[in-house]
Each structure stands twice: as C-alpha cells, then as structure tokens.
C-alpha cells in the first residue's frame, strides 16, 4: 500500500498524529489508491512556520526566476501525463479523457503563470508635480493558505498555487480528503524542479481540523478557498475577523437557456455535456435547462433519447462517458434530491436509479436523471445537487426565461443556445452569472481568462487569467522626485 506524506520545508514527513486515512476508488471500493496523513494542528503550525521563514528570500527572487520552477515542474508533469490521468480517474472517478484533459490544463496553468513572471504589469502615470515619477509596484502578501475541493483535484490546486508563487508568496495547501493524490503530484513536481524548502507546503487531513488550524494560523495572510457555499461562508465569518484577504469560489445552479431558433440536436448535446459529463460534479455544471415552449417537446424527446444512450461505468474503461459519484455521501445526496423532486411534483423522464449488478456493485454509479415539470420554487431548481440531475423548465418567452434563469441565489455560470444575436446580447447583459457562454455548455472554461461568479457563488477577487495576480499581490504607490 502506498503511503503518501505531507510536504513541509522541503521534506516528506509523516503526521505527528501517527494516523493516516484511505483514498478510495469510487468506481471500485475494493481499491485503496493510497494512504494519506491525518494531520493535526502541530503539522499545520510546522508548515506555516516553514512557509513564513521562506517568505523573504522567495519574494526577493526575481519573478522570472520563480517562473523557472513552474516551467520545470510543468515539464515533469507532462512526462507523466498518462500516469497522472489514470491516478485521477482512480481517486475521483472522472473518465480517463477528462482526467488527462485536466492534467493538461494544470500544466498549461503552470506555464501560463510562469510566463506571468515577466509580465507582472504595473503602471506609471504623469505627476501633477515637476520631476516626480508616479508609479505602482506589486508586493506579495506573505504566506497564503489554499483550500481545495475534490472535483478538479489537479486544476484547482494548480490555479491557486501558480499565481500565488509567481507573485512571490509562500504557500500551505490543504487538498480535499477525497482526492489528495492529484495535488500531491503537483507538489512532487515542484520539489523535483528544485523549489527552495518552505516555499510550498502540503498538509492533508480533515477540513474541520487541518482547515481550521490553517485558517487560524497568524502566519497566514490570505486564504483562497474553493468548495461548498456552506463551508466557504463559515470560513469567511471566521477569517474576516482577522481582516486578512479571502477569496471564495463556491456552488452553482447554472442555467442553459434554449431559445426557439436553436438547432435541437446541437442544443441537446450542449445540455448533456453541461449536465452529465464529470457526473455533474462540476461547479459550472448545468442543472437547469430553461426551454422556450415552442420547442420544448421535440427538444426533450431528443434529450431523453441521447441521455439513455450514455455509457456509465468505470472511467478507466474505453467508451465510458459518465463515471461514478465521488463517494457514498454524494451518491446519497443525488438519490435524495431525485426523491425530493418527485415528491415536489416534478416528473422523472429517465434515469435516476443507482446502478447495480456486475462491477456496478463495487462503485457509486447512478443513471443520469432528467426531470420535467420543474418550477422555480422546487428545491431541485434552487439547491446545488452536484450530481447528474437535470431539471427542465418551460418558459413562454425570452423574458420569462431570463426571470427563471436569474431566480436563484447562485450566479456562477450560464449559457444560451440561439442564433438570434439581439437576444444573445440581451442575455449577456441581463444574466446574473460570472461566466457566460453562448452556444457552448455552461462548463469548459479556459485558464487564460478570469474565473468566478457573482451572488452567493463567489466572494472576493477573480481566479485565473491575469486578474489572478490581483488577489495574491498588493499594490503599492510610489511618488519619486528625482531632483532636490
């Protein structure tokens, strides 16, 4: 059995607790992918002290030199692409092509932010006074804490680690306990790239214990969190008392609006991709399809027909399109929401059952489910399920579609399927979402642009793209008179 250690001050260390926890394959619960450290507050303190001690030397290094470590780590990860993809499928359940795609994205993110080492733009403006230069510089924040979820176990850690490091911060990261191996591989690559001790530290263990110790540690000057709205909101309450910088990326209830002029097959494919791929376990997954009445029946017919053909199974098997739920708890949540939707009066059109028999018995497999007759007041239209459950809602016209689309507390991503440029632009103007796609699924964003939502989906500055550096650095303003 592989036992994976914490990484603190450049060394691989067992937790002082002497305890480990298993990382179980959700497609085959007989398989333990590895044992990880059940860390305690002492481990967290040690990691934070190491990161604080490394802070000044790392901040003094030219940003281009910091970037060299990221470039080298990207190269190492690329050499191991297949292995890392397979490991991700085994720990998280997503299909192998999805997992390999995600590792590629993490590599691109490392390279993109490595390049930012030579592009950390600040500005100079004319002064009102003679012989005075006015300009800004960026300063790192110090030591930052990164807390990440299980659903993108490589890309999300990468899109926090890379901008934090290139801006000159030192890092302590706590990955999700359900999928800690993919981020372990990022840390391993940085270690092999020769990153100085203490610059990056990795501590695994329960959110309640490790997450709490980390966010309360006085060395931590900022927290970047991605996860559920409930955990993020509680974390914010606690951390904001210390007035340190916080960034929260949380849940979604993302709509796809399909207008009457849409190509129906195209629209059905977009809905299936957004709602069911990665087993609906994307924060940007589509969970509400809002369809104009005139095309409702024919579109739903196509959607159900295509959904019934989806192949659910172990993501390592060729041809499988939908993997398992990540664990028993998530499967239970999916089934509970399916039950609730039925009791609230929505009608199940297909799927919605746990799959059993043969290899299905060893994992947490569920058929993708589609409900018709969903209305805004139902819980399935309001609450994040985080599983392959799609709620279909009918709209009499564009205005009603917009009303329904915005009638939720979340605002992460939203899409529209239409060829009508006027209504598409109106959608872009009126939709309450941070990520807007047109004739594309709600999910599938790119690393070189800002990422984040509005309303209760997000709080604080954007991640990814050039804006990511704003969170991890502080602007200082300089007035310099060059004569006396």
Closest CA to 215 of 192, 244, 191: 244
Query: Nearest approach, Cβ of 145 to ligand NAP (angstroms)?
Result: 9
Q: Which is nearer to ligand NAP, 34 or 251 (CB)?
A: 251
Using CA of residue 153, residue 268, residue 270, residue 386, what is the dihedral sign? negative
309: how many CB neighbours lie within 10 A of its CB? 8
Q: Which is nearer to ligand NAP, 75 or 212 (CB)?
A: 212
Query: Nearest approach, Cβ of 410 to ligand NAP (angstroms)?
Result: 9
Question: SS3 for 457?
Answer: coil
Query: Nearest approach, Cβ of 100 to ligand NAP (angstroms)?
Result: 19
Q: Which is nearer to ligand NAP, 226 or 372 (CB)?
A: 226
Q: Which is nearer to ligand NAP, 64 or 206 (CB)?
A: 206
The dihedrals phi and psi of 23, each to the nearest 5 degrees, come to -105, 110
Displacement of CA 347 from its chain's centroid (Å) = 31
Of residues 87, 98, 116, 249, which has the active-site annotation?
249
Closest CA to 315 of 101, 109, 110: 101
Q: By CB under 6 A, name the binding residues for ligand NAP.
A: 147-152, 174, 176-178, 206-208, 211-212, 215, 226-228, 231, 235, 249-252, 283, 384, 386, 412, 457
Question: 283 an active-site residue?
Answer: yes
Q: Which is nearer to ligand NAP, 341 or 412 (CB)?
A: 412
Query: Nearest approach, Cβ of 361 to ligand NAP (angstroms)?
Result: 24
The answer to whether 278 and 153 have CB atoms below 8 angstroms apart is: no
Query: Nearest approach, Cβ of 177 to ligand NAP (angstroms)?
Result: 3
Q: Give the strands of the sheet with 245-249, arranged side by side.
A: 11-13, 6-8, 200-202, 170-174, 143-147, 220-226, 245-249, 458-459
Query: Nearest approach, Cβ of 175 to ligand NAP (angstroms)?
Result: 6
Query: Nearest approach, Cβ of 150 to ligand NAP (angstroms)?
Result: 5
Closest CA to 287 of 204, 381, 160: 381
The answer to whether 200 and 183 have CB atoms below 8 angstroms apart is: no
Tell the residue number behind the tokens 């297949």, with chain if given: 82
Q: Give the strands of the sheet with 3-4, arranged side by side.
A: 3-4, 32-37, 20-24
Q: What is the DSSP pairing of strand 20-24 with strand 245-249?
A: unpaired
Question: SS3 for 130?
Answer: coil
Q: Which is nearer to ligand NAP, 176 or 401 (CB)?
A: 176
Q: Which is nearer to ligand NAP, 38 or 307 (CB)?
A: 38
Tell the residue number behind the tokens 């060394």, with chain if given: 11
Question: 249 an active-site residue?
Answer: yes
The answer to whether 204 and 174 have CB atoms below 8 angstroms apart is: yes
Cα torsion for 465, 466, 472, 478, to the nearest 10°?
A: -170
Of residues 87, 188, 283, 456, which has the active-site annotation?
283
So which residues are the catalytic ones? 249, 283
């Amino acid at each position: 059995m592989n036992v994976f250690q914490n990484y603190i001050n450049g060394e691989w260390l067992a937790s002082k607790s002497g305890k480990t926890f298993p990382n179980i394959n959700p497609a085959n619960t007989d398989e333990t992918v590895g044992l990880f450290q059940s860390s305690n507050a002492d481990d967290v303190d040690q990691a934070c002290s190491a990161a604080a001690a490394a802070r000044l030397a790392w901040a003094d290094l030219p940003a281009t030199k910091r970037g060299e470590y990221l470039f080298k780590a990207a190269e190492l990860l690329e050499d191991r692409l297949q292995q890392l993809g397979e490991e991700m499928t085994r720990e998280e359940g997503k299909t192998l092509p999805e997992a390999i795609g995600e590792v590629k994205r993490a590599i691109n993110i490392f390279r993109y932010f490595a390049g930012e080492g030579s592009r950390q733009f600040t500005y100079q403006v004319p002064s009102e006074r003679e012989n005075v230069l006015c300009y800004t510089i960026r300063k790192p924040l110090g030591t930052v804490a990164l807390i990440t979820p299980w659903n993108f176990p490589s890309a999300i850690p990468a899109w926090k680690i890379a901008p934090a490091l290139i801006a000159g911060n030192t890092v302590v990261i706590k990955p999700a306990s359900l999928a800690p191996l993919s981020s372990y591989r990022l840390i391993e690559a940085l270690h092999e790239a020769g990153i100085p001790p203490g610059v990056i530290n990795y501590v695994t263990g329960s959110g309640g214990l490790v997450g709490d110790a980390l966010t309360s540690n006085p060395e931590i000057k900022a927290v970047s969190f991605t996860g559920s709205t409930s955990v993020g909101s509680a974390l914010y309450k606690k951390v904001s008392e210390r007035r340190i910088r916080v960034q929260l990326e949380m849940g979604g209830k993302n709509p796809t609006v399909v207008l009457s002029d849409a190509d129906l097959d195209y629209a059905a494919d977009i809905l299936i991709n957004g709602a069911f791929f990665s087993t609906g376990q994307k924060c940007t997954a589509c969970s509400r399809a809002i369809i104009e009445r005139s095309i409702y029946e024919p579109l739903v017919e196509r959607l159900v027909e295509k959904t019934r053909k989806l192949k659910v199974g172990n993501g390592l098997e060729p041809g499988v399109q939908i993997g398992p739920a990540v664990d028993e708890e998530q499967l239970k949540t999916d089934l509970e929401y399916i039950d609730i939707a039925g009791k609230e009066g929505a009608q199940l059109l297909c799927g919605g059952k746990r799959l059993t028999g043969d290899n299905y018995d060893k994992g947490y497999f569920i058929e993708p489910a589609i409900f018709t007759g969903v209305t805004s007041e139902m819980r399935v239209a309001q609450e994040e399920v985080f599983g392959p459950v799609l709620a279909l809602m009918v709209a009499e016209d564009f205005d009603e579609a917009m009303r329904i689309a915005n009638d939720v507390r979340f605002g992460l991503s939203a899409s529209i399927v239409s060829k009508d440029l006027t209504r598409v632009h109106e959608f872009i103007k009126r939709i309450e979402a941070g990520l807007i796609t047109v004739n594309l699924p709600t999910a599938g964003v790119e690393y070189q642009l800002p990422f984040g939502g509005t309303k209760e989906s997000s709080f604080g500055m954007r991640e990814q793209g050039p804006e990511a550096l704003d969170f991890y650095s502080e602007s200082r303003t300089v007035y310099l008179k060059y004569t006396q």
